A and B are shown apart, each in its own frame.
Chain A
Amino acid sequence: MANSLFANKALDLLDAEPTQPGEIYQTIGGVAPSAKSPIEKPPPPPEHPAPPERWPKEVKPLVTYEMVRKNPYLQEIALRGNFDYQLHSGSEAQDSGLRRSHLGIALRAFYDLEIEADAAFDSSGDYLGFETLRAKYAFHDKLALSVGKFRPSFSSEYSTDPSLRWFPDLSPLLAQLAPASSLGALLEGQGWKLGYFSGDSDRNIPDIDGRGFLLAGLEHRGWHLDYIHNFDRGRSEAIPLAYRHLFSTGVKVSSGSYDFASEFFLAKGDENTSWGVTLRAARWLVQDAFRLVGRYHYAASDQAGGILSGFGVARPISDVGQPFQYNTFSTADSLHSFYLGVNAHFFEDNLLWGAGLEYRTLSGADASADLDSWNWSTHARLAF
């Protein structure tokens, strides 16, 4: 009797639906909550990253060392460098040389204080001065204070790290009016910044000299407005050409493989008032590898010969003081510049090779007839 019962049970089991994998365990105690949700397939890498990531301001550090033992005095060390070799060939200048040679260190120390020190060298390896010597402390995600010598973050093009710029050099008018790397303090919040800098300019550490200049800026969803008020007028060494008010406003737009930025500049002084516009566009020909870049730049001045146009490779010392440092330059009443080039990204933004052709036309160049020039440039950049 008992045997037949067991046999029936065995037959019932054979007739029953086969147990689904995992059924037993789900009925016993349930799966852990975090593992309950079905695992989606890893999504393919986004073809085009979101806009804030498409406009980075600093290059990714490659050589970092995090302290094995956590301590409040030193948490992380990063070695930084930027080497840019350029070759320019044009009707006005045949020039080649090291545009930029920076070597520096960044520390996270003393309870998350960020300390950056970047020294500039010339092509023969001689020390030129400090481009940056800054301490930055973030009170929280939305408020940070920087103190030291650094590039005032005026205009989106100038405040972008040189290792992330699309072109071999700054737009001509921006190189003319951009403030020198100076000693100051900058308070940055979410969408705003306010800073005060010394009017002195020095290869190493500038003095607190004169009445200085004030920097204020607003930013909202790709739009920005920057303003500098120079209290020193003509006595300032940090603000060129005795400009008193400097404005910069523009937008950044990204869509698909396209990126576009426009910027308007106005520099108002007692003697020279200059204005200009820069339109920059880039398109990934091959995503993250080859990028087509183009720029249109226009600059004009109310003063005869009020626009400066540099040709060739800017001297490496331009990063520790005034940006406009060219062996060959010309003055003009107005200027148009068209640049079209290709950038090859070998290793993200850290190793790049670029080549481009520029057509530049100057009206009233050196108080004479117009000057047209074609310039071919090639540059190789290593940043870490």
Chain B
Amino acid sequence: MPRHKGRGISTIEYPTGMNQNGDPSQAWIKLKPDGRVDVFAGTVDIGQGSKTVHTQIVADAIGVPYEWVTMDNSNTDSSPVCTGSFASRGTFIGGNAVRFAAERVRERILDIAAKELEASADDLEIEDGTVSVSGAPDRNISVSDVAAAATWGHGELITGTGAALKPYAPVDPETGAVEIEPHCAISYASCIADVEVDDETGEVTVLRLIQAYDVGRAINPTLVEGQIEGGAMMGLGLGLLENSYPYYPETDHRGSEFGTYLAPGMEELPEIESLILENPAVDGPFGAKAIGEMANNAQPGALANAVFDAIGVWVTELPITPERVLRALERKNDGKHEPRHEGKKVIFDEEISIGTIGANGGAVALDVP
């Protein structure tokens, strides 16, 4: 039988926010005279859905319906600083910035509502667009009427600003040690890959991915699943298909268009089971950590382990192409795939190490006692 099934597992962690911090996001919010909410933040939506997530956070932090909230992230004149949509920082840092701004807006709404209701702001709560007195729900005023009263009666603009920044964490150049946490949170994930390997053609087919991600809190589970599934396909490309330099380290035969560069497509889509775990971060918005980048990190290792489980060879140069699978099987059949044993050392992959390829045993090669 040329086709062999295998299962591999991989478990990873990934930080939220720029490594060593120092990457601010800021936001400001204003209310229209009918209580509708305008959010201004510089968070770029690169397809991850940050506008959706930011507006969800603002709706709940103020206490108004989601449909009331609009976000403008279109330019640097109207929006304050966002360091950028990278480092899996949008939901946590950008989300905290709009949350802090929304909390200021909520306070201003309560101040005006307190005057209108002749109550203490401390006794008021906001839910679904209505401000009411705790324990006396009949004494209430809509946020729309509060905004109108502010505009036409009190001559005030209800607004709020927020800024999220964790200070830069210097690193000791000799030990790598830091004095403060160099990230906002850490997310975790595990991935199981079920594959089928054809030992005649070298092809690896991914049958199923089972993946569990602890994202702290899923602000929008559909978007989290979108990240998990989209990321899985990128991880599958990295693991099995893609290579800018197919003959690395040589530079020949680079793909210069989609027709000559092998990226994953729908035909490679395996069955994907996505599990969302919620172990909240104490200082994330509503407990959120992150999901963005890590979603393509777990698959390559799981795939390499599944290939070993299927046919008993380790392919540790990516991508795991049919050619590499067949060459590894050839080495196995020639008795050359086994690690070298030296004392208590078990040494794999010696032929591709810097000690073998570099001159004089590789100037910076690992010194393993």
Q: Is A bound to B?
A: no
